[in-house]
Amino acid sequence: MTTRAEKDALYALDISDAHWQAAAGSNPEDRFEIAFLPGGAVALRDPHAPDDRDLRYTAAEWKAFQKGASEGEFDADLRTTL
């Protein structure tokens, strides 16, 4: 479980020099970008909304998301929104 202190430290991190990437072949009009941060953390942003705050996830949170996605945890949610 991620603590408040871990999240505060993650958001205090200066990522102004982060290398942002998008999925290969993604549509530039509706994609998001990811930056890999120290310690396995990641940041996500909408490149079309530069004034919006990026979202940051600890390594544990990102790993849990990846595990859930690979195991189909979100598949039912996708079927109801398409």
User: What pLDDT digit, counting tens, does each position of 4-60 carry?
Assistant: 999 999 999 999 999 999 999 989 888 999 999 999 999 999 999 988 999 999 999
Q: What is the pTM of this model?
A: 0.81
DSSP class of 21: B
State how far the Cα of 22 lies from the Cα of 19, in Å rounded to an integer: 10
- Residue 17 has a pLDDT of 95
Domain ranges of the chain: 4-81
> Would you say 57 and 41 are in contact if contact means Cβ atoms under 8 Å apart?
yes
